[in-house]
Structure 1
Amino acid sequence: MTSAHHLPAGKAASGPYAVDVTPESAGWAHSGLRVLELPPGGTHLFTAGDSEWIVLSLGGSCTVAVTDDFGQDEFELRGRADVFSGVSDFVYVPRDATASLTSHEGGRFALTGARCERRLPARYGSAESVPVELRGSGTCSRRVHNFGAAGVFECDKLIAVEVITPGGNWSSYPPHKHDEDRPGEESQLEEIYYFEIAGHEGTPGLGYQRVSPSGHGSGTDVLAEVRGGDVVLIPDGWHGPSIAAPGHDMYYLNVMAGPGADRAWLIRDHPDHAWIRDTWASQPVDPRLTP
């Protein structure tokens, strides 16, 4: 099954970005994602425009200089070796600002963005401050890095988290959705999934992503084999599972935003599969995720 919502690696590239998903290119109103690759000594300048951004290392370190009407701030982003080596620190870039990224040794950086109205101050988020959640159990075990989650780090609209799924496990399961505004029960959020998959002895890894129609919105329907650098766009629908093939750990970066006045991630589980949560208490968490 093919879908315009699955963008294989390279399909969303534009200019300096290996991935450049804008609200316009996605066909929605709020969420965006860029993946920037800098060579050793490389510098990149971007304007935030009407969006707020979080700069996150996918591998490597950089200096982030942010300039706006209030002056200039400079932050050292320590980063990490790669997405499977732990949590990264990050930098928040407010709307209407200009940001410059400079990397002495080179690296790859995600710019997670959302259109917003409030202009908040530029800030640094340490890796040590990021809540790490072990979600699910058994073959549904995964680790979530809640660096830009609602209630964790203040943004106006942007919600962003990372998920590590060990090879052979399922995540984004049970399938869930957030395509309706149901106060206190469900948020309306557009979502981007960006994938990296661990390879083996030079062979690229792979995984699978499912999105099925919920009866709301455009009827998004995706069954995709995903590889490193792929993107899946989810304007609506039940999404999940995200399946990591045995032997290939899966990473994905989630970027979300929507029209609601409250910045919240409220989901509704698929009624056919919600029962799986009741089984988790009787199973241990996958030991590959524990210290």
Structure 2
Amino acid sequence: MTVTRTFHLPAGTAADGPYALDIGPERAGWTHSSLRVLDLPPGGAHTLAAGDSEWIVLPLAGACTVACGSLTFELHGRADVFSGVSDFAYVPRDAEARIASERGGRFALTGARCERRLPFRYGPASGVPVELRGAGNCSRQVNNFGAADVFDCDRLIAVEVLTPGGNWSSYPPHKHDEHRPGEESELEEIYYFEIAAAHGAQGVGYQRVTPSGPGRTTDVLAEVRSGDTVVIPDGWHGPSIAAPGHTLYYLNVMAGPGEERAWLIRDHPEHAWLRETWAGQPVDPRLPLYAAPPAPSAPTAPSGAA
């Protein structure tokens, strides 16, 4: 596969085989982070060979089962990313998993090259912390399903961000492209976008990335639409801007070479002051768009292999 240094990948331009989107280290020109988007028709199935990466199977729209070894987990999923938190399944490296959907759907496979082989596990929607970050027109919602301090992975970090129309997120601009112990992590990042339609119109958003120093070449000013992706090997990233009337969703996938799995960022020094203004502003009353569901009275148990 040819290495690309095209940072904005419009929907369909990074499709490969069964995947509507397939970005791995070879395509992105880096070492760890991957994202695939799998569209399954009703009754469809797909086998994921994990290889040297760990993966989280996350329903974007629809439900599925994920079978690995002798266990099968049922993912209840959701109607779409704007309607609720989803449950998910963790697939370890050197494993093979079968993803099947009775009614069809769209599923994100977030991945990272790793060393440890952890167990195949189920992540309930009720266990996903829903965080409100920022204030005023910088308010956004973060679904921390695969955050470093929430769910155990070897390298992978993944979260969802929802930004109401007219707001800015990923702001102030920040970076994580250097290893600074206790201050900054070195993490490659993928942004996958979906944008809510309104009044029959498809929405747009905007993504900015600027170089963070000598030798850094990531420079993006992109109008993004549903299904678009931006890859960020380095640089100050932000803002992510939601057009008025259209909620902006993005899935963040991160991984890097550091021994510690942590999301440590450094704000752009010219814009870091903005955080100090949030204390005097309310969070956008449109948030949260939704909360995680309550925990079930009995835990979801795996069944035997399908």
TM-score w.r.t. structure 1 length?
0.96
Following superposition, the deviation at residue 202 of structure 1 comes to: 2.6
* SS of corresponding position for 2:126: helix
Q: Counterparts in 2 of 1:53-132, with a 5 A limit?
A: 53-67=55-69, 72-132=70-130
* Residues 69-102 of structure 1 deviation map (CA, whole Å, 9 limit, x = unaligned): xxx2110000000000011000000000001011
* Residues 83-142 of structure 1 deviation map (CA, whole Å, 9 limit, x = unaligned): 000110000000000010110000000000000000000000000000110000000000
Following superposition, the deviation at residue 219 of structure 1 comes to: 1.9
Following superposition, the deviation at residue 151 of structure 1 comes to: 1.2
Paired with 2:109 and 2:215, the residues of 1 have a C-alpha distance of: 27
* SS of corresponding position for 2:27: helix
Question: Which residue does 1:47 correspond to in 2?
Answer: 49
Q: Counterparts in 2 of 1:1-291, with a 5 A limit?
A: 4-67=6-69, 72-215=70-213, 218-290=216-288
Paired with 2:135 and 2:39, the residues of 1 have a C-alpha distance of: 35
Amino acid in the other structure paired with 2:74: E
Following superposition, the deviation at residue 216 of structure 1 comes to: 5.4
Structure 1 unaligned residues grouped into runs of 5+: none
Amino acid in the other structure paired with 1:40: P
Paired with 1:123 and 1:135, the residues of 2 have a C-alpha distance of: 28
Kept in 2: contact 1:56–1:88 (CA 8 A): yes
Amino acid in the other structure paired with 2:29: G
* SS of corresponding position for 2:252: strand
Paired with 1:123 and 1:220, the residues of 2 have a C-alpha distance of: 36
Over 3 Å counting, the alpha-carbon distance change for 1:216 and 1:252 in structure 2 is: farther
Percent of residue pairs bearing the same amino acid type: 76
TM-score w.r.t. structure 2 length?
0.92
* SS of corresponding position for 2:155: coil
* Residues 192-231 of structure 1 deviation map (CA, whole Å, 9 limit, x = unaligned): 0000001123321100000000005532000000000000
Paired with 1:11 and 1:173, the residues of 2 have a C-alpha distance of: 28
Amino acid in the other structure paired with 2:53: S
Q: How many residues are aligned here?
A: 285
Amino acid in the other structure paired with 2:222: A
Kept in 2: contact 1:179–1:217 (CA 8 A): no
Q: Which runs of 4+ in 1 moved over 2 A?
A: none
Kept in 2: contact 1:62–1:101 (CA 8 A): yes
Paired with 2:136 and 2:87, the residues of 1 have a C-alpha distance of: 29
* SS of corresponding position for 1:147: strand
* SS of corresponding position for 2:253: strand
Structure 2 unaligned residues grouped into runs of 5+: 291-306
Kept in 2: contact 1:216–1:236 (CA 8 A): no
Paired with 1:225 and 1:239, the residues of 2 have a C-alpha distance of: 14
Give the alignment's Cα RMSD to 1 decimal: 0.9
Following superposition, the deviation at residue 51 of structure 1 comes to: 0.1
